[in-house]
Structure 1
Amino acid sequence: MILIPETEYELSAIRAQGAGGQNVNKVSSAIHLRFDIQASTLSDWLKERLMHLKDNRITAEGILVLKAQQYRTQEANKKDATVRLHEIVNAANQVKPTRYATRPSYGSKQRRLESKTQRGQIKQMRGKIASDKNEH
């Protein structure tokens, strides 16, 4: 798990958007977090991974901008923003194992075809029943 020092990102308080009445209108409780990926102390490999993320919160200059306004207090929004920053960086640090294509076994193919045949027979039984009388 990678921890980013507080000196590498900038927090600024802004007014939150949306409903909330007088509290929202007068208190700057929302937080803007700005993290410069290129100027950080992260490894070059991780910087490259972060820059290639298809995330609209990362600008072309390589600055990750997060807005936290979920909570009523500035402290809670600061904590939320830093937690989300660490989640993004740690997710980029994870390398998914390569997936190798496999083929279904002979037995699994047979079981699949048998279940399809049984299902078809069930559906066939739902049809109209032929009557013995000659209908004119």
Structure 2
Amino acid sequence: MSSSDDLRINDDYSVPYWELVETFVRASGPGGQNVNKVSTAVQLRWNVDASSLPQAIKTRFRQRWKSRITKEGDVIVEASEHRSQARNREAARTRLQGMIRQAAQKRKRRIPTRPGRGAVERRIKAKKEHGEKKALRGKIDRSE
């Protein structure tokens, strides 16, 4: 394992290979002899707290993926959709990479806007029409 095995997030950040713990287990489901004999499924474990990523990214990651984080602070990504261990390993790494990329992107701040004049006029017109409709439902004064 070398720095080429680091999980590249973007041009600025990457997760070093030594922060990732890969466990190979037997996959479930159909597959016959291959699935019974070979440990092709991958469990990729990454500790968010012990990571070398900036605190802001770790905080956003915790908020976004809090249901996927264990009590110990680990995120476990499993992949067993492929028959080969290498492809499952790559799928798990790609999935974790996508999760961290989402956390690395800052959400754009919403700029509050005001309704346009046409929208305000349509709203007031609709309110007046609704009020007139309700006024017509009232009792008729026959004393006049």
TM-score by length of 2: 0.69
**Which residue number corresponds to residue 101 of structure 2?**
90
Partner Cα distance (1:25, 1:111) in 2: 68
Counterpart pick for 2:56 among 21, 45, 62: 45
Question: Is 1:4 equivalent to 2:48 in the alignment?
Answer: no
Aligned residues: 115
Equivalent residue for 2:25? 14
**1:74 & 1:57 partners in 2: Cα distance?**
23
Change in CA separation of 1:75 and 1:24 when aligned onto 2, cut-off 3 Å: same
Q: Which has the higher helix share?
A: 2
User: Residues 1-136 of structure 1 correspond to what in structure 2 (within 5 A)?
Assistant: 1=10, 2-108=13-119
Paired with 2:92 and 2:31, the residues of 1 have a C-alpha distance of 20
- Are 1:3 and 1:86, in contact at CA under 8 Å, matched by a contact in 2? no
Q: Can you list the C-alpha shifts for 1:8-32, whole angstroms capped at 9, x where unaligned?
A: 1011110112222222122110001
Unaligned segments of structure 2, at least 5 residues:
1-9, 127-144
Q: CA deviation at 1:108?
A: 4.5
Determine the C-alpha separation between the residues in 2 that align with 1:54 and 1:5: 20
Unaligned ranges ≥5, structure 1 = 117-136
What fraction of aligned residue pairs are identical, expressed as a percent?
38
Instruction: Identify the residue that residue 7 of structure 2 maps to in structure 1.
Output: none
**TM-score, structure 1 as length reference:** 0.72
The amino acid that maps onto 1:72 is: R
